[in-house]
């Protein structure tokens, strides 16, 4: 059993500006501390446990509405070691040096452990490969994890080995200088060759396991481009993100009436009608571009199309041909 590095206690002082007037405390903290990729649940826990001072007084209600000029002090306590098992799981490492790794996560693998699943994740594999050489900013469960991919989404991920590298890479995501491109198979007829979805995303008020486009959600922007079509029933897309909200591409494409094929949460279930077996949503992070935190060299990595996306696309093309005859 191995324990990831333990980050020391940190304190952060924040000032509420005019644009944040009326914002919920927990949502404001999620935005301002975005580079630490703290979950909304963890932030709410910090508030309820008295780790947040509002105008120098303890504030324990996550829903408290803020006013312009409010001062906030947040204490993120030193995380307690949680033993995680290092597992000799094969990793496809695209790039590695003393600061970071770029890995190709397969579909079906969790990025990091959860309260219910503690083995078989990318983090378990990274602990076996890197030992103690992973950043500790994200706490015990997410050592080295700068950003994540959903379990059934395959593709490229940055992993930080040091805290300075982690800060640098996280800042690039926040400042939108790190670029992420995806491939996906979506349903329906696209009337144009490209477009943008600019719609805020938040927790679905009717189903807490899902996200949704909601008026008071966090800003989210997704760009899409049609690469290929099949009888105006399916499209092979390239997508890029300006923001990194949970399930962003899946939510946005479903929102505009083009859900991803195979998506168990936001899809139409068409694959069941077609009797098509998939490993979840057909989505791959195929290109990643960022500036190296030490050398400041611009790095771009690209991998071939996921074989599962290719297999399904060919199956759909053959099925379409049979139906037209």
Query: What residues are annotated to the active site?
Result: 150
Residue pair 184/282 in contact by the 8 Å Cβ criterion: yes
Residue pair 247/266 in contact by the 8 Å Cβ criterion: yes
Structure tokens at 13: 């002082």
Q: How far apart (Å, rounded) are the C-alpha atoms in residues 164 and 162?
A: 6
The answer to whether the Cα torsion of 153, 222, 292, 35 is positive or negative is negative
Exposure on the CB side of residue 41, measured as CA atoms within 13 A: 5
Contacts of 59 (CB under 8 A, 6+ apart): 25, 47, 52, 53
Exposure on the CB side of residue 274, measured as CA atoms within 13 A: 20
**Cβ atoms within 10 Å of 212's Cβ, excluding its own:** 19
SS3 category, 294: coil
The answer to whether the Cα torsion of 234, 237, 242, 248 is positive or negative is positive
Q: How far apart (Å, rounded) are the C-alpha atoms in residues 2 and 85?
A: 6
Structure tokens at 95: 């790039």
């Amino acid at each position: 059993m191995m324990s990831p590095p333990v980050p020391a206690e940190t304190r952060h002082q924040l000032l509420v500006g005019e644009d944040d007037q009326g914002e919920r405390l927990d949502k404001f903290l999620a935005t301002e501390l975005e580079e630490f990729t703290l979950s909304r649940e963890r932030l709410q826990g910090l508030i309820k446990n008295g780790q947040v001072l509002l105008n120098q007084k303890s504030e324990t209600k996550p829903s408290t509405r803020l006013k312009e000029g409010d001062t906030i002090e947040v204490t993120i306590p030193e995380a307690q070691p949680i033993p995680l098992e290092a597992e000799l799981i094969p990793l496809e490492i695209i790039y590695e040096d003393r600061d970071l790794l770029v890995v190709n996560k397969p579909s079906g693998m969790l990025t990091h452990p959860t309260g219910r699943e503690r083995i078989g994740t990318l983090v378990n594999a990274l602990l076996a490969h890197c030992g103690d050489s992973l950043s500790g900013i994200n706490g015990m469960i997410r050592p080295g994890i700068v950003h994540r991919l959903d379990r059934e989404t395959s593709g490229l991920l940055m992993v930080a080995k040091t805290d300075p590298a982690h800060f640098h890479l996280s800042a690039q995501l926040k400042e939108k200088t790190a670029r992420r491109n995806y491939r996906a198979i979506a349903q329906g007829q696209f009337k144009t060759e490209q477009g943008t979805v600019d719609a805020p995303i938040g927790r679905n008020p009717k189903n807490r396991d899902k996200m949704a486009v909601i008026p008071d959600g966090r800003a989210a922007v997704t760009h899409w481009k049609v690469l290929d079509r099949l009888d105006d029933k399916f499209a092979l897309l390239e997508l890029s993100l300006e923001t990194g909200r949970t399930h962003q591409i899946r939510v946005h494409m479903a929102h505009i009436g083009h859900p991803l094929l195979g998506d168990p949460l936001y899809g139409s279930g068409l694959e069941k009608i077609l009797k098509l077996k998939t490993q979840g949503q057909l989505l791959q992070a195929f290109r990643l571009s960022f500036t190296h935190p030490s050398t400041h060299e611009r790095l771009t990595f690209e991998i071939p199309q996921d074989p599962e996306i290719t297999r399904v696309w060919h199956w759909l093309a053959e099925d379409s041909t049979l139906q037209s005859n």
